Structure 1
Amino acid sequence: MTARARKPCGNMTEAETRLWRALRRGQLNGFHFRRQHPIGAFTLDSYCPKLRVAVELDGGQHAAQRKRADARRTRFLSEKKIAVVRYWNNHVFENLQGVLANLVANMERRARELTPSPPLPLSGGGSDTAPVREERSAP
């Protein structure tokens, strides 16, 4: 599986290469990505393991005939608790900064989803014990 995942690395599309240059080495707000990451029978274009987010690029070959396969792939990844964010190749070429801004927003939303909410304070000012009163002895 790993050998199969590594094989396409040298054959990345131009869109994948451009996006990867922006994602590698934590350049995107410190989010760490892996490229060509294997999950089950699939190889993800880019993957953030900490937040479990897959970034997929779709070109012209992802038209109508690929919609069913992409839906099946997305369902499989969803069952593995992996969120999928998809962009068209032409958006990477025409508006890379917009794609990156959208990806940051998606990553930050995902981070909030995965971060548990802090517990609400207890009634009575948030203290779980009654205040201690000092007893003063009369002189």
Structure 2
Amino acid sequence: MERTHNKKSLKERRKHLRNNGTSAEATLWRLISNKKLAGRKFRRQHSVENYILDFYCPSEKLAIELDGERHFTELGLMEDEKRDQRLLQLGITVLRFENDDVFKATNAVLEKIASQFNHP
């Protein structure tokens, strides 16, 4: 049976993305890593099928995506919709934030993430 999560074929790509992330990703990671947000463990650049998620909380089946300019093109919006629908079919909820939100509305971003947790 083929792996669904963290396929070996995507390992180098995940590593590259972790080491070359955006400043918004680095900032959010500092705020949610090491169980800093309500004791939840998050992973960076976690893959599900052929999709690489910016952040993933396995206990909540929650993906967090930080979107830059390319996500707001017609093609980017269509690809994101297809991706989000597939992840939802797999039972994974996707939250999307603009990169700027991490800097300009940090508390709102963290509150929105925490609001998706199933239990305190």
Shorter-chain TM-score range: 0.7 to 0.9
Q: Relative CO higher for 1 or 2, CA cutoff 8 Å, sep ≥ 6?
A: 2
Which residue is equivalent to 1:39? 48
Q: Structure 2 matches for 1:1-139, cutoff 5 A?
A: 1-65=10-74, 66-107=76-117, 111=118
Moved over 6 A (4+): none
Query: Which ranges of structure 2 fall in alignment gaps of 5 or more residues?
Result: 1-9
- Report SS of the residue matched to 1:71: helix
Query: Which ranges of structure 1 fall in alignment gaps of 5 or more residues?
Result: 113-139
Q: Which has the larger radius of gyration?
A: 1
Show CA shifts across 1:22-44 (max 9, x none): 01000001011000001111100
TM-score, scaled relative to structure 1: 0.75
Q: How big is the alpha-carbon RMSD for the aligned residues of Structure 1 and Structure 2? A: 1.1
Give the fraction of aligned pairs with identical amino acids, expressed as a percent.
Answer: 34
TM-score, scaled relative to structure 2: 0.86
Q: Structure 2 CA distance, aligned partners of 1:52 and 1:98?
A: 20
